[in-house]
């Protein structure tokens, strides 16, 4: 267990803002977490993974809690699949790297996304036609009111697009301690999203490692390395709009990309933002990334206010032009 007071969070979240926490604590087991919760019962609490999907809007006057539980192990195996339990503090990309090396399919499309296993299950991360829920069997949690373990099956997690029970009703009541994934020994490939298929052209039945390396190459071309330019990856969700608005916009913009969903049409937020002329524009030291307008970066010594202002300006301009209200992926703290 590690406890630090008046601790800088600059190295603990991917925007890299120089904000501080009254207390910072790292726990290596559930017993240590329970001890911290009792000891700091009167403090506001923030659970953090790699901090890759949040924006600290200022100093945090409470305790920031970080999981250092990083083990993964197979619980069960059949002829077709393996049940893996990974603890919350393990980096998601390290888990995917291990699974790809073991020739296990299912999560390789999520390669190179910053973040830890616990946070991935909260956010329901997704990329290239795959969401993490597609492989989640169950989620192990600690009930913060009773300090008892509760296991949620995948249905109980109420997963949606970048959404889950743990972002809504379960927020502040449960903290994830481990996630169980079902991964396949036989190919389950999703290669039709973006230019993933073309990157693997000429490869019949690519291995998980080949898909993983293609995904990494694409992400490196489009997205900034967070150790060079602080960011939280995609800042906004892709909006889903109803048919009447879609018909109106499609008549005005016949080349507008879209995807049919169960409740409307999903429009790429990156396209909307680019149409409004935001690529490479900035506010203070915050900038819209040239290669991917969904990403806002800390161009060096940006403040939270720089990022907040830029995000609001983008939201306002998209709403004014397209009558679409963008929702952010990034959580403000």
- Which residues does the annotation mark as catalytic? 162, 234, 329
- Report the candidate in 78, 84, 270, 320 with the shortest Cα–Cα distance to residue 183: 84
Q: Which two tokens stand for residue 117?
A: 């296993």
Answer yes or no: are the C-beta atoms of 118 and 200 closer than 8 Å: no
Q: What is the DSSP string of 307-330?
A: HHHHHHHHHHHHHHHH-----BSS
DSSP 168: T
- For β-strands 240-241 and 259-261, DSSP reports them as unpaired
Pairing of strands 54-55, 331-332: parallel
Q: Which residues contact 16 (CB under 8 A, 6 or more apart)?
A: 10, 226, 230, 298
User: In angstroms, rounded to a whole number, what is the distance separating the alpha carbons of residues 130 and 106?
Assistant: 8
């Amino acid at each position: 267990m590690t406890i630090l007071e008046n601790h800088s969070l600059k190295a603990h979240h991917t925007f890299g803002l120089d904000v501080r926490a009254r207390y910072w604590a790292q726990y290596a087991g559930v017993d240590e977490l329970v001890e911290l919760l009792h000891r700091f019962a009167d403090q506001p609490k923030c659970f953090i993974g790699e901090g890759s999907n949040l924006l600290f809007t200022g100093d945090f006057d409470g305790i920031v809690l970080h999981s250092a539980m990083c083990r993964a192990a197979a619980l069960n195996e059949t002829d077709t699949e393996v049940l893996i339990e990974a603890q919350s503090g393990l980096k998601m990309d390290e888990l995917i790297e291990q699974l790809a090396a073991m020739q296990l399919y299912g999560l390789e499309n999520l390669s190179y996304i910053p973040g830890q296993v616990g946070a991935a299950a909260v956010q329901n991360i997704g990329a290239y036609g795959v969401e993490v829920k597609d492989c989640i069997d169950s989620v192990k949690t600690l009930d913060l009111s009773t300090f008892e373990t509760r296991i949620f099956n995948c249905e109980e997690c109420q997963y949606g697009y970048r959404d889950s029970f743990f972002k809504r009703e379960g927020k502040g009541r449960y903290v994830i301690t481990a996630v169980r994934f079902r991964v396949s020994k036989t190919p389950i490939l999703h290669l039709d999203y973006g230019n993933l298929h073309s990157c693997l052209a000429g490869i019949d039945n690519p291995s998980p490692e080949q898909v993983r390396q293609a995904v990494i190459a694409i992400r490196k071309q489009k997205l900034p390395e967070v150790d060079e330019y602080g960011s939280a990856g995609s800042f906004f969700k892709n909006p889903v709009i109803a048919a009447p608005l879609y018909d109106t916009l499609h008549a005005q913009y016949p080349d507008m990309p879209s995807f049919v969903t169960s409740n409307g049409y999903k429009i790429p937020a990156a396209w909307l933002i680019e149409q409004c002329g935001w690529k490479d524009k900035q506010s203070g030291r915050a900038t819209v990334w040239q290669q991917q307008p969904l990403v806002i970066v800390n161009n060096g010594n940006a403040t939270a206010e720089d990022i907040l202002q830029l995000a609001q300006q983008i939201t306002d301009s998209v709403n004014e032009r397209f009558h679409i209200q963008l929702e952010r992926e990034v959580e403000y703290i």
